[in-house]
Amino acid sequence: DVVMTQTPPSLSVAIGQSVSISCKSSQSLVYSDGKTYLHWLLQSSGRSPKRLIYQVSNLDSGVPDRFSGTGSQKDFTLKISRVEAKDLGVYYCAQTTHFPLTFGSGTKLEIK
């Protein structure tokens, strides 16, 4: 199985600051079609997860451009600029290149 290693496990940040979350996979996430199926999800407290970014860097509809995703092969980063209170929750990276589909262990973002 592809292991998704997320760091850090938790972050405490002041409103307005920027943060980055790392996600490293144990195998390349480039599929045979040339695309990289690495996604970022946010799970707010008591809620279902929701996707923010798909295929490394594409923002889902309604997601502010304060969020950005970068990376390739096995190394990926989610950056949140100008953090707002509504950004708190647990962020997961997820890969859908290889079966079984797998998720990172999560990064909990707290607001100072």
Partner 1 sequence: QVQLKESGPGLVQPSQTLSLTCTVSGFSLTSYSVHWVRQHSGKSLEWMGRMWSDGDTSYNSAFTSRLSISRDTSKSQVFLKMNSLQTEDTGTYYCARNWRDWGQGVMVTVSS
Stretch of 18-26, 66-74, 77-85, 102-110 contacting partner 1, by CB under 8 A: 102-110
Distance between CA atoms of 32 and 104, rounded to whole angstroms? 22
Taking residue 80's Cβ as centre, other Cβ atoms within 10 Å add up to 22
Q: Which residue, among 95, 62, 61, has the nearest Cα to 76 in the 3D structure?
A: 95
Distance between CA atoms of 104 and 15, rounded to whole angstroms? 25
Contacts with partner 1, 22-51, as mask; x by CB under 8 A: -----------------x-x------xxxx
105 binds partner 1 per the rule CB under 8 A: yes
Contacts with partner 1, 69-98, as mask; x by CB under 8 A: -----------------------x-x-x--
Q: Which is nearer to partner 1, 24 or 49 (CB)?
A: 49
How near is the Cβ of 52 to partner 1 at its closest, in Å? 10
In the list 17, 26, 60, 81, the residue contacting partner 1 (rule: CB under 8 A) is: 60
CB 95 within 8 A of CB 66: no
Taking residue 21's Cβ as centre, other Cβ atoms within 10 Å add up to 22
3-state SS assignment for residue 85? helix
In the list 8, 35, 101, 110, the residue contacting partner 1 (rule: CB under 8 A) is: 101
